Structure 1
Amino acid sequence: MEEKLRIDKYLWAIRLFKTRSQAGDACDNGKVKLNGNNVKASKTVSIGDVYDVKTEARKWVIKVAGLFAYSEAIKYYEDITPPEALDKITFDAPSFHTGKRLSKIGRPTKRDKRDIDEFLSEE
């Protein structure tokens, strides 16, 4: 029996997107195409399909090589992106921004506030 697999789950499982919701949003925003046509997140993936996927980091051309258990996802796709497209890519920044601020930068912590209050009250 062939397992049915949605494109948003597939793109998330092969680690093109950090979360499944990001993969679904990419589908909804027209960043995932099959044969030049936009794909909905609920589209069923078939072996041999070739998808054009645009992420923040780069543009991918992905051929589905197999359907899988999620733990082995990374083995079941082929990156067939043309070499000339890879020449245009620069990897200066990390591909995923978590939104978490860097440690020791920004607002003081509760401990910092207590230290400041203690310092000011000693005068």
Structure 2
Amino acid sequence: MRLDKFLKIARIIKRRTVAKEVADKGRIQINGKLAKSSSTVKIGDIVKIQFGNKILEIKVLELHESTKKEDAAKMYEILSETRQDTLEK
């Protein structure tokens, strides 16, 4: 599944166009490698996303073509969530 579509369906980023912009600015990595919006996401992948001053690291658990709000959180597991300002101190 495409990275931008996964981020939207899993409700990590609300809009696919925003997910595409974030990925194309080099703010997303899959398994430690820089990812584009068209990069393929597979079950077991570790995805690291930088939102401004926050870094979110998740593990992909499930892939669905569409999902309900309640089921979206089951698609991934949060491994870490850190703020940039805490890293610099």
Q: TM-score range by the shorter chain?
A: 0.7 to 0.9
The structure that has the greater radius of gyration is 1
2:54 equivalent to 1:58 = yes
Q: Which residue of structure 2 aligns with residue 75 of structure 1?
A: 74
User: How many residue pairs align between the two structures?
Assistant: 82
CA contact 1:47–1:65 (8 Å) conserved in 2: yes
Instruction: Give the number of the structure with larger relative contact order, counting CA–CA contacts within 8 Å between residues 6 or more apart.
Output: 2
CA contact 2:58–2:80 (8 Å) conserved in 1: yes
2:5 equivalent to 1:9 = yes
Q: Which blocks of at least 5 consecutive residues in structure 2 are unaligned?
A: none
Q: What's the offset of the Cα at 1:65?
A: 0.4
The normalised TM-score by structure 2 is 0.79
Higher strand share: 2
CA contact 1:35–1:51 (8 Å) conserved in 2: yes
Assess, with a 3 A threshold, how the Cα gap between structure 1 residues 35 and 69 changes in structure 2: closer, same or farther: closer
Q: How many Å separate the matches in 2 of 1:78 and 1:35?
A: 15
The normalised TM-score by structure 1 is 0.59
SS in 2 for 1:81: strand
The aligned amino acid for 2:58 is I
CA contact 1:61–1:79 (8 Å) conserved in 2: yes
Q: What's the offset of the Cα at 1:58?
A: 2.1
Q: How many Å separate the matches in 1 of 2:23 and 2:16?
A: 11
Query: CA-atom RMSD, angstroms?
Result: 2.0
CA contact 1:16–1:55 (8 Å) conserved in 2: no
SS in 1 for 2:5: helix
